[in-house]
Amino acid sequence: MTRKRVVIAGLGDAGILTAIRLARHADVVGVSAKPALVSGQELGIRLVRPQDWARDNWIPFDRFRSLDKARTVQASLTGVDLAARTVFARGDDGATIAEEYDALVISTGVTNGFWRRPTLQSAAQIGADLRAAHNRLAAAGSVIVVGGGAAAVSSAANIAITWPGKRIDLYFPGERALGGHHPRIWNQIQDRLTDLGVGLHPGHRAALANGFAGDEITSEPVEWSTGQPPASADAVLWAIGRVRPNTEWLPPELLDNDGFVRVTPELRVPGQQNVFALGDVAATDPLRSSARNRGDALVAHNIRAEFAGRPLRTFRAPRSRWGSVLGIQADGLEVFLPTGQMFRFPSWAVERVVMPWIVRWGMYRGVRENRPFR
């Protein structure tokens, strides 16, 4: 029986896991703007400890053992012919690339700040971005973090942990930050931030100029649409959640009013056979949570099931976000459940069990030693 070809458009966190699950069962072709998995997770660690972040979140594709038989193409996606089952992209030399598929997985993610952009980049350019953001914050005597999500909270906490002499202030629009998490989680994180000396400023919504996306660290005073006087710091980190789906290459009929890919409960694109979407680009639920709740396993199963004529499974989204908020610290890793409870992996367990066995072998099914980032 001829092996089917699956094209995975976007090899971020969700796409790479889907590719790993399908590589044994189909001819997988991944199209990515980067030459590696460059995760959009753990912004706080990325900013203050870029070497540690790179070890776990910047992984060249040839390090994944399960992708040895897959093929990756570094290019910018430009379009798709659904009738002809062909994806089009443009390489860094400007040449047009066409990839035919039997099944298509859309996992192109979102643009969010300076740390999640769909631009073509070399390894040298990725490294330069990491250094630039780290050095900018290291040189600042005071930092304002604007935003109420996990990226903002993690950034404020990690900056305070790494540089305790800096003045750090976190401004967020609601009565509490981490609005997508269980309230019990914010109560615990709030106490931690207070102990670290982070100034907490609820009820502050930034007044943003038209077209401002918060995709760079700035130094101008921050003005508030909620009436408070402007706030100033040497560096202003914008983590305001102005996500923009990377779907310009897709036909409008596949998208909802906000530009995200419409999906059925099976994570299949309505009206399209063998076309699936997952991750932050897929309009699964208000939190677009399939990337963090094993949507990769569901999509891989459903593609194989559709090829074989078997029933498909459905995705069930949790009501609250869950997982780590602050990332790996010197004393271990805190993981929060959707119900708000927290459990901690001590540092020895993170180093000897969680990362080598649960992540690198359990999730990624084998990762060769990564080249260190310098």
Alpha-carbon distance of 161 to 204, in angstroms, equals 24
Distance, in Å, from the CA atom of 131 to the CA atom of 58, rounded to the nearest integer, reads 14
147 phi, psi to nearest 5 deg = 140, 155
The residue written with tokens 């990564």 in the block is 370
DSSP 101-120: -SEEEE---EEBGGGB----
- Can you say whether the dihedral through the CA atoms of 140, 141, 142, 148 is positive or negative? positive
Question: What does the alpha-carbon distance between residue 54 and residue 34 come to, in Å, rounded to a whole number?
Answer: 14
| Per-residue pLDDT tens digits for 250-282 | 999 999 999 999 999 999 999 998 999 999 999
pTM: 0.94
Whole-angstrom Cα distance, residue 320 to residue 340? 9
φ and ψ at residue 163, rounded to 5 degrees:
-125, 75
Parallel, antiparallel, or unpaired for β 5-9 and 27-32? Answer: parallel
Domains within the chain, CATH numbers bracketed: 5-121+243-319 (3.50.50.60), 131-240 (3.50.50.60)
Mean pLDDT of 94-108: 97
pLDDT tens across 154-208, in order? 999 999 999 999 999 999 999 999 998 899 999 999 999 999 999 999 999 999 9
Coil, strand, or helix at residue 182?
coil
Q: What pLDDT sits at residue 109?
A: 96
Instruction: Give the number of other Cβ atoms within 10 Å of residue 309's Cβ.
Output: 6
Least confident of 31-45, 55-69, 211-225, 260-274: 211-225
Task: Give the residue ranges of DSSP H helices in the chain.
Answer: 13-22, 43-48, 50-57, 123-138, 150-162, 183-195, 295-308, 347-349
How far apart are alpha carbons 248 and 214 in whole angstroms?
Answer: 20
**Chain segment 285-340, per-residue pLDDT in tens:** 887 888 877 899 999 999 999 999 999 999 988 777 888 999 999 999 999 988 88
